[in-house]
């Protein structure tokens, strides 16, 4: 009779995968390095994830869900669109600064052809509110009429650039200044003037 799977072991494997992928790259990291970092036998890793590809896809979904939950926490439902975008921006930048390894892995995975279309769809599902916000803003001519993937990619690229400066800043005032400047630059790029 097989032992029941442990959520703690599964999470240890996912955490080890983040650390190893951030250090050595997603596709160059062997599963043996992940299992060693997780403190489990390699066979145990394959009990939880039948292949590296499955591990990568489940990690992608978990990280995208975590990020979405962070960005949508305390959502300002009644706020104006710019305030809603600022809410998303601030939480994304803060998440990236607080979780540099996870952010690095997400950046690698979002351009990987090893992440399935199903995983990409599942990863975007929690962000439906953001898609609806963009469509509403485009419809009301508040932001430029660009494809949603393009707008999302621009936001991610500019937020990730901002994260670098926020992370390097020593004083809280300076960190907030960079986060705000990054947002204003992004907003000016998408807003209809």
pLDDT tens-digit map of 88-147: 999 999 999 999 999 999 999 999 888 999 999 999 898 889 999 999 999 999 999 999
Distance CA 1, CA 47 (A): 14
Q: Residues 67, 95: contact at Cβ < 8 Å?
A: yes
* pLDDT tens by residue, 57-95: 999 999 999 999 999 999 999 999 999 999 999 999 999
Report which DSSP code applies to 115. S
Return the CATH class of domain 1-50. Answer: mainly alpha
- Does 52-190 carry CATH code 1.10.10.10? no
Token code pair at residue 31? 């599963």
What are the residues facing 187 on neighbouring strands? Answer: none
Radius of gyration of the chain from its Cα atoms, rounded to whole angstroms:
19
Q: Domain segments of the chain: what residues?
A: 1-50, 52-190
Please report the beta strands in 23-171, taking only residues with DSSP state E, as ranges in sequence order: none
């Amino acid at each position: 009779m097989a032992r029941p799977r442990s959520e703690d072991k599964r999470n240890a494997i996912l955490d080890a995968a983040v650390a190893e992928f951030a250090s050595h790259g997603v596709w160059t990291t062997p599963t043996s390095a992940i299992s060693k970092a997780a403190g489990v036998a390699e066979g145990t890793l394959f009990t939880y994830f039948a292949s590296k590809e499955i591990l990568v896809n489940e990690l992608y979904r978990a990280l995208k869900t975590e990020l979405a939950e962070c960005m949508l926490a305390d959502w300002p439902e009644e706020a104006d669109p710019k305030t809603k975008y600022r809410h998303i921006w601030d939480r994304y930048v803060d998440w990236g600064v607080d979780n540099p390894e996870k952010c690095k892995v997400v950046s690698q995975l979002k351009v990987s052809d090893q992440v399935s279309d199903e995983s990409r769809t599942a990863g975007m599902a929690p962000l439906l509110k953001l898609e609806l916000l963009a469509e509403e803003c485009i419809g009301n001519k508040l932001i430029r009429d660009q494809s949603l993937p393009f707008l999302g990619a621009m936001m991610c690229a500019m937020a990730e650039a901002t994260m670098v400066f926020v992370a390097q800043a020593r004083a809280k005032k300076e960190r907030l200044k960079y986060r705000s400047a990054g947002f204003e630059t992004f907003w000016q790029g998408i807003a209809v003037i």
